[in-house]
């Protein structure tokens, strides 16, 4: 197999906007934490109201048991958001209702050097933006989800058993292409062009095509498809189709810019090293985004509330059958201990971990973040989501 140094020397002929951070882990397993006082808060039996600690209380545990320097969350509840069918492929979304009640938000933080308005790296939450753009292009009949990669990027996917002639855009969106995740080799720290990232993946044979296999390469390719179809970068398309219309003033694609916009706090690696300055060209369309808590809440509320996609394509986005119940298209479901299922995505990049979850209609959204790469106690995340979304007795 060619060395990484050799691969990075390959000339770039399909250059897109510069790359960025991504999550290299699969979506969290939708399993409630064990009910032990020494690990995480006790959760209620399925469908029962819970007297467990609040989300704010669990947030504080992220800085103790979770060993994060700081953590923050922002919830948003909009009683006026239109509802959509939670059954994929059945029914249509009703029309929006007039605004009659105010949107409510709640912010909490734990630890130092973190604030509500901070900009931070959102990692693979970028994938939800990219998937939305692709589905909008499908709604405009500029591409089909059943198009092959070969139709848009002829001759690109060849080698080690990989073949773009049999690989569809649907497979990329649902992580069922079998393509190797290039960040396994680069460890998510080597800045690359999209073509360089793809060429690294193509030195490895596919992993069980048709089965769910989370790969950042899938979304780098989708970024290239967006450029090929529109003549503009994925960043430009996301900005004009999503960021500007929704007024997401704290959200951007930084390209090669290593600094964060102001205001921002510091970001730390697991060993405590300050990694606030980071070259975002490490994952491209798989994880470039910089955002804020409020912007991510607004985006997922709009997306699931039907503001960005027609009902048919929103149902496609939520359809997890291709990925065997594990992933839709840029979104994944997580069933909580009380039986409620929330939808969203996570994002992991050196110095930042973010998770957004929402009810299927987008009426209620939670985004939380820590200013380090990972949470030491993985049981805290599902506990926090359950505390926010499961019914409570008080």
Single out the residue of 26, 78, 56, 27 nearest to residue 343, CA to CA: 27
Coil vs helix vs strand at 246: helix
- For helices 216-230 and 126-139, give the axis angle rounded to 10 degrees: 40
124 is catalytic: yes
Distance CA 376, CA 379 (A): 9
Distance CA 374, CA 378 (A): 9
List residues bridging with 111 in a β-sheet: 70
Distance CA 267, CA 103 (A): 31
Rg (CA), the chain: 20
Distance CA 132, CA 134 (A): 5
Measured CA angle at 300 (ends 298, 302), to 5 deg: 65
Dihedral angle over CA of 110, 115, 119, 121, nearest 10: -10
Measured CA angle at 301 (ends 300, 305), to 5 deg: 115
- Among residues 40, 124, 177, 352, which one is catalytic? 124
Single out the residue of 384, 380, 358 nearest to residue 86, CA to CA: 358
- What is the sign of the dihedral through the CA atoms of 374, 377, 382 and 383? negative
Single out the residue of 306, 261, 254, 263 nearest to residue 281, CA to CA: 254
- What is the sign of the dihedral through the CA atoms of 114, 119, 124 and 127? positive
- Torsion angles phi and psi, residue 8, rounded to 5: -75, -10
Asked if 375 and 68 count as a contact pair (C-beta separation under 8 A), the reply is yes
Burial (CB count <10 Å: 0-12, 13-18, 19+), residue 362: buried
What token pair was written down for 289? Answer: 């985004």
Active-site annotation, residues? 124
């Amino acid at each position: 197999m060619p060395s990484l140094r050799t691969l990075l020397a390959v000339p770039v002929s399909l250059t897109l906007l510069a790359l960025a951070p991504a999550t290299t882990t699969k979506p969290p397993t939708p399993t409630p934490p064990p009910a032990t006082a020494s690990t995480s808060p006790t959760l209620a039996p399925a469908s029962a109201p819970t007297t467990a600690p609040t989300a704010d209380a669990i947030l504080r545990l992220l800085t103790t048991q979770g060993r994060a320097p700081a953590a923050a969350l922002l919830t948003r509840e909009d009683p006026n958001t239109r509802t959509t069918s939670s059954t994929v492929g059945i029914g249509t979304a009703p029309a929006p209702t007039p605004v009659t009640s105010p949107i409510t938000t709640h912010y909490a933080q734990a630890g130092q050097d973190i604030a509500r308005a901070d900009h931070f790296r959102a990692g693979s939450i970028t994938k939800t933006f990219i998937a939305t753009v692709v589905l909008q292009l499908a709604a405009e009949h500029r591409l089909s989800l059943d198009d092959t990669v070969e139709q848009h990027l002829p001759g690109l996917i060849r080698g080690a058993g990989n073949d773009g002639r049999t690989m569809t855009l649907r497979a990329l969106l649902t992580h069922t292409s079998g393509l190797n995740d290039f960040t396994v080799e680069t460890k998510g720290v080597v800045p690359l062009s999209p073509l360089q990232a793809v060429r690294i993946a193509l030195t490895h044979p596919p992993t069980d095509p048709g089965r769910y296999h989370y790969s950042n390469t899938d979304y780098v390719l989708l970024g290239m498809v967006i450029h090929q179809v529109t003549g503009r970068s994925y960043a430009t398309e996301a900005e004009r189709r999503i960021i500007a219309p929704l007024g997401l003033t704290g959200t951007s694609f930084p390209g090669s810019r290593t600094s964060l916009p102001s205001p921002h706090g510091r970001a730390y690696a697991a060993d405590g090293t300050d990694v606030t300055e980071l070259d975002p060209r490490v994952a491209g369309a798989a994880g470039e985004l910089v955002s804020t808590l409020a912007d991510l809440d607004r985006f997922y509320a709009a997306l699931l509330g039907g503001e960005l996609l027609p009902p048919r394509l929103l149902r496609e986005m939520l359809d997890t059958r291709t990925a065997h119940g594990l992933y839709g298209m840029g979104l994944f479901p997580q069933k909580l201990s009380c039986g409620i299922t929330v939808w969203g995505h996570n994002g992991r990049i050196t110095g930042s971990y973010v998770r957004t979850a929402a009810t299927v209609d987008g009426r209620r959204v939670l985004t939380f973040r820590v200013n380090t790469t990972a949470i030491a106690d993985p049981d805290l995340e599902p506990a926090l989501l359950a505390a926010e979304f499961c019914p409570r007795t008080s």
